[in-house]
Amino acid sequence: MTKNIFIELELFLDPPIDEAGAMREHLEKVKIPDWNKRVNNDSRNKFFVAKAKSYIADGLPRLKQQAKSAREEKYKELTQRAKLINEIGVTEKSVQNLKSDFKKFFREDTIEKLVPLESSSQNQSGDEFIVPVCPASLKCDKPVSLADMRSISFDLNVATDGKCDSLYKLLEAHGNEKTADILTKAMAMEKKIHTMPKTDIKADSLYRLSIKFMLFFKNDNRRKKYDVALKRFCFDEYASTTLKHYVENWITKNKTDWKQYHACIDEVKKLGYSQEETSWLVYEYFCITKECPLPKKSKQGGWRQFEPLRSQLLGLFNESIETHRSNMKIKDKLQSVIEQFNDIDDPDNVKSTVSQIIEMDLRNFWDSCKKEGIVIPLFKPAQLANYSRLKDYLLEFTQTTEGKQDKRGA
């Protein structure tokens, strides 16, 4: 994978510094001194300094292309997280968490516009919840912590240029080998690592890794703690970045959303876990670690019944705001539409209000824009493609609300 200075050094993207002279000055006068001050707080800072100097020595080529690519990548990640938060229900804490996660790359106002503060939930249906059993592959009294696994992952990436994602691969060992045999390989590699020159950028990472593999492969019990942590590492990372956004909402309401909970299971299974492993990991995270109540069925009406539609509309309009950020007229109009959606609180007014907003207000606005010579589309095809179910939700919404009106008329 092509290296990107903005991603690798976690540089600001809103807007990015994409001129070589300005970037060199920024790195030499701001970032490198700051990383050097904090080198004892985070081992990554030493790596950042070395990589920054390497980029400077290379002349900082292709900054504009890298800036554009990095911003697209990180903004896509941001909008996906924001879409999830909108679906779950926006709270002050979830907004603060999102800002904390992306403050290295984006301004606060850029982030806040994607998560308008208001609550939401979804229509539920399903059967009685059955508490899963922990499978043998995940049973362990105290696996290696997520913080340690992240540190190991970082050092493996630095030490092997991303070629190894586990200590087994680093040692060229296999999971079915005896622990004693792997320890022998570990001892041999440890000796090699201690002979490396300290000037080698990989030396520090390899030294820290040697401490870990000499500890983890000392006996079967310690190896088990690493094996289980390695098995669940992908889930733990996913939980810390995605599943965490559900927690506050469910605890605050003292209600775990049945439909959303099982949607989480479907997503976690895509990470490569078995159904048994997936069910346990999701249950353990939400109901044991985070102490959320057990999932229950519920039935709601009004906007809440059509929460999938509302979520899709909010996501689409927020992405369009980013597209039209240089046109204040369009930005302000789109923002006002979002505010109108959020102001809907009477189930009897949902049909008429949404129809008025989309079919009259927004259409008239866009007609006026075309008369002024504005030809750029309100929504890009790529954006619409991200909301492929919007058409189905609108059709379901129309048919459902019309059916209710017919019954009232009869």
Q: Which residue range is the domain that position 55 belongs to?
A: 5-112
Q: pLDDT of the chain along its 410 residues, tens only? A: 458 999 999 999 999 999 999 999 999 999 999 999 988 888 889 999 999 999 999 999 999 999 999 999 999 999 988 888 887 777 778 888 899 999 999 998 889 888 876 433 333 334 578 899 999 999 998 999 999 999 999 999 999 999 999 999 999 998 889 999 999 999 999 999 988 887 788 899 999 999 999 999 999 999 999 999 999 999 999 999 999 999 988 998 888 988 889 999 999 999 999 989 999 999 999 999 999 999 976 544 446 566 667 777 777 888 888 778 788 888 888 888 887 877 766 666 677 788 788 878 888 888 888 888 877 777 777 666 666 666 666 666 665 544 444 444 43
User: DSSP code of 123?
Assistant: -
In three-state secondary structure terms, 349 is helix
Q: Are the C-beta atoms of residues 365 and 333 closer than 8 Å to each other? A: yes
Tell me the CA distances in angstroms from 299 to 232, 251, 390, 404, one per residue in order: 34, 19, 22, 17
404 domain-assigned: yes
Same domain, yes or no: 316 and 238: no
Q: Are residues 95 and 148 in the same domain?
A: no
With beta carbons less than 8 A apart as the criterion, state whether 196 and 206 touch. yes
pTM score of the predicted model = 0.58
pLDDT tens per residue, range 32-48: 999 999 888 888 899 99
Residue 120 lies in a domain: no
Distance, in Å, from the CA atom of 77 to the CA atom of 230, rounded to the nearest integer, reads: 24
H/E run at residue 36: helix 32-37
Q: What is the pLDDT of residue 125?
A: 39
Shared-domain flag, residues 160 and 253: yes
Specify if 72 maps to a domain: yes
| Maximum CA extent, the chain | 88
Residue 168 belongs to some domain of the structure:
yes
Same-domain status, 294 and 314 = no
Residues 272, 173, single domain; the answer is: yes
* Domain termination residue (choose one: 298, 333, 366): 298
Q: At what angle do helices 63-88 and 307-323 cross, to 10 degrees?
A: 160
Last-in-domain residue among 112, 136, 154: 112
Same domain for 207 and 70: no
Same domain, 56 and 29: yes
* CA distances from residue 254 to 125, 246, 287 in whole angstroms, order as listed: 18, 12, 12
Given this model, what pLDDT does residue 122 score?
37
Q: 256 — phi, psi (to 5°)?
A: -90, 120
Query: 267 and 361: one domain?
Result: no
Structure tokens at 301: 């009406």
Tell how strand 295-296 and strand 256-257 pair up: parallel
- Establish if 282 belongs to a structural domain: yes
> pLDDT digit string (tens) for 252-290?
888 898 888 999 999 999 999 998 999 999 999 999 999
Residues 38 and 132 in one domain: no
Residue 376 lies in a domain: yes
Q: Within a domain: residue 117?
A: no
Which of 83, 112, 141 is where one domain is finished?
A: 112
Burial of 283 (0-12, 13-18, 19+ CB in 10 A): buried
309 shares a domain with 292: no
CB 257 within 8 A of CB 121: yes
Taking alpha carbons only, the member of 271, 354, 299, 324 closest to residue 125 is 299
Q: Are residues 263 and 143 in the same domain?
A: yes
Asked if the structure places residue 118 within a domain, the reply is no
Whether 154 and 169 map to the same domain: the answer is yes
Number of compact structural domains in the chain = 3
